[in-house]
Amino acid sequence: MKATIDSLENVKTAEEAERSLHEYLALLADIKNSGVDSQVSLKLTHMGLALSMDLARKNTEKIVQKAAELGNFVRIDMEGSAFTQATIDVFHGLREKYPNVGVAIQSALRRSEDDARRIAASGGSIRLVKGAYKEPPSIAFADKKDVDRSFERIMKELLITPTRPAIATHDEKLINEAQRFAEEKGVPKGSFDFEMLLGIKRTLQKRLSVEGYTVRVYVPYGRDWLPYTLRRLRERKENVWFVLKNILD
């Protein structure tokens, strides 16, 4: 199994964004030196996006550039809808110069099918997720079934592109469908990733890996990991139960 490591630091100032930048540069060097098979994931707000788009772009470019030198890859996480367009814009700007950058897209948002199509058409790699943020029904599907249907539609479009998509879900129905669809279309097992959170559905992670799929485990760390986790739990109260149940799975 492979990994993607995400440093979670609460960033409110340009100095904190700079610290976050240096954390990633050190992280990339550590990954190289240790030989761990891991990419990095980052949030643009941790690069200063809430302060200035230009600051976030410049900081992120330094990380993507360093990753390119080291033969590594940077995935830009997708955050709340206030940052969707800015995240996609920063991603496109970087992708024009560097092939080693990808972005996450949330199936919960109504706009995402179009976004995903455009990004994939330009060759960009997408991590498809359902979406971790509560969004208003005007821009997001309110019904979970619609979020899942949207995920399945986008997933199928991405799987037949040569963009190395990452199917990031613990939803076994969707994972089974990804496997079935890929087989039906002759998509090689090694041409896409399954991504899951560290410690969640470990039996499933192992099974997919044994079956020859690439499983990438998302590993968050840093001073903000506890507030981050608590926010995720508060946003979706059912997660508290999932955590307890799946920690043993």
Q: Which of residues 111-130 bind ligand FAD (CB under 6 A)?
A: 129-130
Task: Write down the least CB distance from residue 154 to ligand FAD, Å.
Answer: 12
DSSP 11-72: --SHHHHHHHHHHHHHHHHHHHHHT--EEEEE-GGGGTTTT-HHHHHHHHHHHHHHHHHTT-
Measured between alpha carbons, how far is 150 from 78 in angstroms, rounded to an integer?
A: 17
Candidates 102, 131, 165, 220; binder of ligand FAD (CB under 6 A) is 131
Distance, CA of 46 to CA of 69 (rounded, Å): 22
Active site residue 180: no
| Span interacting with ligand FAD, options 26-34, 109-117, 166-174, 220-228, rule CB under 6 A | 166-174
Which two three-digit tokens encode residue 120?
Answer: 């994939």
Report if residue 246 touches ligand FAD, rule: CB under 6 A.
Answer: yes
- Write down the catalytic residue from 6, 57, 77, 193: 77
Q: How far is the CB of 222 from ligand FAD (least distance, A)?
A: 15
Q: Which of residues 142-161 bind ligand FAD (CB under 6 A)?
A: none
With respect to ligand FAD, which residue has the nearer C-beta, 13 or 176?
Answer: 176
Three-class SS state of 135 = coil
Q: In 3D, which of 67, 17, 11, 10 has the Cα closest to residue 41?
A: 67
Question: Taking the complex as a whole, how short is the minimal distance between the CB of residue 182 and ligand FAD, in angstroms?
Answer: 18
Q: What is the CA radius of gyration of the chain?
A: 17
Could you say which of 38, 59, 87, 106 contacts ligand FAD (CB under 6 A)? 106
Of 87, 195, 213, 219, the residue at the interface with ligand FAD (CB under 6 A) is 195
Encoded tokens for 35: 């030989």
* Residue among 66, 170, 175, 213 that touches ligand FAD (CB under 6 A): 170
Catalytic residue among 57, 75, 127, 216: 127
- Measured in Å, how far apart are the chain's first and last C-alpha atoms? 17
Catalytic site residue 127?
A: yes
